[in-house]
Amino acid sequence: MVQAALNGLSKNDLYLFNEGSSYHSYRFMGAHPVRVDGIEGVRFTVWAPNAATVRVIGGFNNWNGSKHRMKRIGKTGIYSLFISDINEGELYKYEIVTSEGTVIRKADPYAFFAERRPNTASVVTQLGGYEWEDADWYAKKREKPAYSNPLLIYEVHAGSWKIKGKEDFYTYDELSDELIPYVANMGYTHIELMPISEHPLDQSWGYQITGFYGVTSRYGSPKQLMRFVDKCHQHDIGVILDWVPGHFCKDDHGLRMFDGTPLFEGPDAKRAEKPLWGTLSFDFGRSEVISFLISNAIYWMDVFHMDGLRVDAVASMINLHMDKPPEMFTFNYFGGSDNLDALRFLKKLNETVFHYYPDTLMLAEDSSAWPAVTAPTYKGGLGFNFKWNMGWMNDMLRYMALDPPERAHHHHLITFSLLYAFSENFVLPLSHDEVVHGKCSLLNKMPGTYEEKFAQLRLFYGFWMTHPGKKLLFMGSEWGQFDEWKDGDMLDWMVLEYDTHRTMHHYVKSLNGFYLNQPSLWERDSNPDCFEWIDVHNAAQSVISFIRRGNSDFSVIVANFSGNNYYDYRIGVPEPGLYSSIINSNDTQFGGTDTQLHPFYSSESIAWHGHNQSISLHLPPFTFLLLNLDPGDTH
């Protein structure tokens, strides 16, 4: 009986799935067009251990599964059925009779595609056959480790970067034609796609998922997504996927109570419920759930050539009490609030991903103070290679929102991050989370007049680009969008008709280009030797100055966060010579007011800030300067 139910399935695969070590379970779970005993058809396989009966229903049987009852495979909890004479494109669901006799209909947890919402059926989909042309990209990745190279990420919501009308989205192919050239022209190294797994509600932005393996049908087919990623790689752009293993939504056709029992979410409602989000946490202590999730991570790299995953809500995964009232608190074996199962899962996830894809980016979106998030697991870490620096982001946005005279009293907000900047491998995120729900756009967080808002945003971007850590910017922020992000509309592209926004756009592009070509800003990002304060203590004038060092070059950075004009502002410099002004945020080409720029500053033998040499600068209000020693100078 067991042998009859296998339909070409491997007993070893099923064992590993149950054991929690099947890292390619998408290859046999779900719906797969196959040939069995010379007959073409589709093999359906699903995990529903507590079901009384499981049937396949679809358009091919008029949604009546009486003739398509699945066979249970021994004690695995897995059901399978081969149905002949059906092909790719068929709609289907699983009809499950629970142990209590209730009949429920569920989408396939492993479906590769689904009907467009609000419809919820899964679609039989063949993933093979796409001819990739990105071998050169993979060779370049091997030659350019992320730690010691520029990483400049453009975060994109595919449903609102550009649209053709209300809920009339660009397809992946149309995004290929417009988004990729735009990103390449702006100088970004990577696109980060907000979640594109199948989800029922547009307003969840993809963070509340029903189909973890399904490429959302809002924007086209899986093959179109493959073409999009392939074209990104051909333009030397990597693609990072925002991945959400922490929770799933409660829609009836999804994972909740999948076989009539709490299967994916676990039996303890206090632990499973995420009341703030109205979702359910995965049961990270269940081996089959681990196979499901780790296989999903590998799936996006195997099938779609994703270059990395930004793992959402790590803090919520590892803390049993986060965002829960005291009456919902649960405790681990030792009486603490750490989710030990989630911690084991994250370590296993990263070990597995790096085993198969050593050059992958695994970025933790983690707001906790958990130590060693980016340390290897063999050293006691969680095994990610980058972590979002939420502390820096929160401090800096709080600081920039202050009235300039108040900044002198909060100087620590711009300096504190350097006390821990090298404790992890950080990405400095200016993400979608900071420009929604009444938080204002980045531009509108800046105080002051219309012109002062733009000047301060340019200043802020300059400091962001030169602070240690890799970079991430949310779409629309590159031209200083005034309105906060509206997920149902496209970005305010029309503002580029105005000089202030157009020059801001030009400034960000110029800043990006300089970053890419300046090794001092990324070559030693994770090494404390890459950074040296010139003057960290000038709170009274709200000015900071520091040095960034690469392997063989250095840059001098000065930032005036005050509204005051400082003449003859002297800073110490590490070497004698002529210092070129490479970036001046107050340049008129960037929308500034400085018409008498100083392209060069000659050092003098005046000891200052612990250096034997110094230069004297003019610092207009809200100005960022980046200076390089002229290599041809023989001063």
Q: List, by residue number, the catalytic residues.
A: 312, 365
Of 399, 501, 511, 486, give the one whose Cα is nearest residue 450.
Answer: 501
Q: From the centroid of its chain, how far is CA 618?
A: 39
| CA distances, 144 to each of 141, 147, 387, 426 (Å) | 5, 9, 19, 18
588 phi, psi to nearest 5 deg: -60, -30
CB 129 within 8 A of CB 285: no
Instruction: Report d(CA 217, CA 206) in Å as an integer.
Output: 12
Q: From the centroid of its chain, how far is CA 420?
A: 22
Q: From the centroid of its chain, how far is CA 580?
A: 36
Instruction: Report d(CA 222, CA 427) in Å as an integer.
Output: 29
What 3-state DSSP class applies to 182? helix
Instruction: Report d(CA 470, CA 145) in Å as an integer.
Output: 13
Parallel, antiparallel or unpaired: strands 152-156 and 470-474: parallel
- 633 by Cβ neighbours in 10 Å (0-12 / 13-18 / 19+) ranks as middle
Instruction: Report d(CA 516, CA 417) in Å as an integer.
Output: 23
Instruction: Report d(CA 354, CA 348) in Å as an integer.
Output: 10
Instruction: Report d(CA 535, CA 570) in Å as an integer.
Output: 10
For residue 622, the tally of other CB atoms under 10 A from its CB is 28
CB 264 within 8 A of CB 209: no
